[in-house]
Every structure is written in structure tokens, then in C-alpha cells.
Structure 1
């Protein structure tokens, strides 16, 4: 529960400083976790990056203030950390669909993005089967993609990533999979965010192996880590739901926190494993 308390304290800090410069490192300190942990948890729990959340909250408050005809656009722009009225107007119109001056029309609709809060909600009493395992370093060999994520939309999409790997290559990768996690695995690593609210990470589709990799494939060296490994039976929709529950239910109520490491999915014949790198609090 301490994790959720820290995340909500961070949201309070953001709300109190929307008209000031907000350093995400300082926000993470309020949440009592590292910058990496905070950014990753926030994105996983909310579906957007922390920078995008701050942007939406500022634009929501800006629209409310501009309803007052006595308020100048330039004053609101500077208040919410935009360097010029033009930059503010461009971002404002992209978000609300109207210019800042048009908001003074009382019948004009604008978007509202309410402040968030995080709560532990457990529904249905569904069991989660998992084990905690310390693993030595291992190597992942496969196809690497540099992925950008904006509002949960990936570029390239998973479908296009999979489609770009031929059946021959898939069989080749599966044939060298001789380490756990077994079979074809999907590994997300090097998660980062920029100030524009965009997130990026490296995605590997390949195999954990001790064999020498072919030159055409990329290699990821995974260090020794502590892992929470979750077992799921079912289709992709059930895997996605389970993945969300790991972060919204299991992690807040456990004695662990995220470690800066990969997230791994291994799936075959309606049976999946989700590997989350963790550390003791």
C-alpha cells in the first residue's frame, strides 16, 4: 500500500506545482522511488506518460481560466510554462480543437482532464499464480525494434513487428531457444520518456539461448536479476488483463518494487508467462 500512497503524494505535488517548473526527478522523490520506477509505474497504471499527464492538466486549467474575458492569453501561456503565446496557442488548439481566444465564447466546448488518484481495486477474487526466482545472466537473441509509444499506441505495432519476421526466421529462433524463459519471447527494455509525453523502448522478439547468435540478429545481455514470474492460461485478452493486475493489484500489496530491467512475455498454445524484474523494498 505504501507504493500507492507515494504515487498519490506525487500527484498532489504535481497539482500544487502546475504553474511552476516540474522536475520528474523531484516528483519521483516524493513518491519514494527512483525516476525510472516512477515513470514506468505511472505509465503502466494510468496509460499515459507523466509528461503527458502534466500537459493535459495544465491545458485543462488553462481553458477554465480563459473563460474569464479579463484574463489575457499571454498571461495564461506564461503561467503554464509556455515560452510564447504562439507556442501555447498551437498546443492548446491541438488539444482542445479551438484557439485560446475562442474559449471566451461561453457555448464553446473544451476538453477536461480531471486529476488522477491511484487506488487498490481488486475485482472478482481471481487467483494469481506466480513464483519469485533469482536468475543468473542470460542472453536474448532476436529481432530488435525501436518502438515509440504515444497514448498507448505503438509505432511500429506488434502486428507489424511480428509480420516482418519470416516463418523461417521464427523457426530458426525457436530452434536455438535452450534457456528459460522457453520458446519465442517478447522482451521490452530501456524504457524512457521525453518532455513531449512520448515514451520509447526497445523490443526484442527472439529466444533466450546459450548458442552463438547469427550475425543478422541482435543480442541483449540480461543481467542477474530477481524475477516475479506469473503463469496465465488463456488468450491475449486474458494476458493483457493479467498484466494490468500485476501492477495495479499484486505489486502494491507485495513486499517488492520494480527493478530497472526487462519485462518478458513468453506464450505458446494458450499458456503464457509474464516475467517482471523486481527488487525488495
Structure 2
């Protein structure tokens, strides 16, 4: 995977700014999927692939302008923009100043260096991982659209859970009749390289067998049968869970013959005290 990611970085720099990068075709040639590749890039680079491409192209555009390029439209077109206005918006978002100011004053400009992924020796602490196969099931509960937050507690999810009456939690627990059992925190509808702030669906609920009727008033998410990697963790909340997410990308996936497949992520809390949690992270996988 490290070699594949570095080859993808080389492809970004080798592709003309006016052309779309064929990430799907590249992934097929490398024996993986676009979904998995984008997820791994985002996790390891700390930014979505789309954001990296934008920063690299704006870095090159900034260098042209600082060197005295005379025609803003020509620079905009060379870097894939059909108008000076659209180019200026993208340029300002990266550099914090307009193309005209960059040309006149030479900066300051923010440079995005070419990324290079390297393998470091990790894994001194064994990861507790189980591969399990689940039949088709339905996740049911109370869903809300919330922004993606990478670090710390998500206050929007906290507010959503707090608004669910205690008696409803009891009803949901009694309703669940499938694995993973218990109350589940489900994250769905997330693009593989979604930037922070992107909207996602958070569902607080339980798992039902595919044939179990869904009570009125509950949101439902139907899942096909498939394999899941179950990662167990225990420690301070939410740092332990967020570190576990990172470790799946940096340690587990690069050294195992599995890759992510599209689908929601599920967290099952075995113990939770507010600042401490024992939990399981369920990720949908397929053999690579």
C-alpha cells in the first residue's frame, strides 16, 4: 500500500492540471479499489486526496504568478479553471490572498510539498482484531445529519444522543435481535476522502435481523451480508477510539490481506463512563 500511495502522488504531479486524474483506473491497475485507496490516503496524509491535488495545483499556480505571469486567465486555464473568478476563489482558499496580489507582491504563498509516504516500524502493541461474517441485517434507531469532526468529542452527536429519552434507550435495547448486539453508534454516508466539516449520517440504534419488522418512527439502514473487521480497544474517551481509527490505517490494513469496502462504520460500547470506554470498532472489509 505504501508503494501504491507514492505512485498515486507521482501520478498527481505527472497529470496535467487541465486533466482529471483517473483514480479509479489507477486503483484497478494496482489491484485495489478507489474507495480503499482514498480512505487510506486520507488517513495517512491527514487530508483528502482531492484537497492534496488542489493544494499542489495552487502551489504551482502561485509559483507562476510570483514569477511574473502576465495573464491571470492563462494561468487559470492551465490549472483547470474556466474563469478567473473560480480560480481566484480556489487560490485564495489555499494561499489567503488573491492571484493579483500574489503577482504584484510575490507572496506570502503557502507551499504544498510533494508528499512521500514511508513505512515505519510499528506494531509493538498487538491489535485485538477479529474477522467475522454477518448476514444481511438492518440498523435501526434515531438518525441525524451532523458534521464530520476528526478530533475530540463531536458536540452535534452528543446533542443528538442527549435528546433521545431514557425510556427510548431501553426500548431500543429490547428491540435488538442481531449482532453486533447492544446500543450502536453508526456513521454512514461518508465519502471516502471527506474533509472535516462534511455532513454525515449518525444513527444511534441497534441491529435487527433482515426479516424483523422495523417499528414506525425509527430510521433504518439496510446492510448486505459481508465480512467485518472488529477492532477492540479500551482507554480514555474519545482519544482511544480515534487512535484506534488511525492505527487501522497505519498498522493493520498495510500488513493484512483485507481492504475497506463501502459501508458504515459501527462502534459498540461495552463499557462507557463519559471519559473512559471499552469498545469495538466494526469496519466493513473484503479480501484484497
TM-score (norm 1): 0.86
1:280 pairs, out of 280, 283, 287, with: 287
- Cα 1:58–1:71, aligned 2, differ >3 Å: closer, same or farther? same
Cα distance in 1 between the residues matched to 2:169 and 2:287: 36
Residue 111 of structure 1 deviates from its aligned partner by 1.5
Structure 1 vs Structure 2 CA RMSD: 2.9
User: After superposition, what is the alpha-carbon deviation per residue over 1:105-143, rounded to whole angstroms, capped at 9, x for unaligned?
Assistant: 556312222222333334471120111112222221112
- Cα 1:202–1:56, aligned 2, differ >3 Å: closer, same or farther? same
More displaced 10-residue stretch of structure 1: 258-267 or 208-217: 208-217
What pairs with 1:1-281 in structure 2 (closer than 5 Å)?
3-22=1-20, 23-106=22-105, 108-123=107-122, 125-149=124-148, 157-192=156-191, 200-210=199-209, 211-235=212-236, 236-269=238-271, 270-281=277-288
Residues matched between the structures, number: 279
Task: Give the SS at the match of 1:90.
Answer: helix
- Cα 1:120–1:158, aligned 2, differ >3 Å: closer, same or farther? farther
Task: Give the SS at the match of 1:183.
Answer: coil
Does the CA contact (< 8 Å) of 1:49 and 1:199 recur in 2?
no
Residue 244 of structure 1 deviates from its aligned partner by 0.8
Structure 2 gap ranges (5+): 272-276
Residue 218 of structure 1 deviates from its aligned partner by 0.9
Cα distance in 2 between the residues matched to 1:149 and 1:258: 19
Task: Give the SS at the match of 1:234.
Answer: strand
- Cα 1:129–1:154, aligned 2, differ >3 Å: closer, same or farther? closer
Structure 1 gap ranges (5+): none
Cα distance in 2 between the residues matched to 1:28 and 1:199: 24
Cα distance in 1 between the residues matched to 2:67 and 2:120: 39
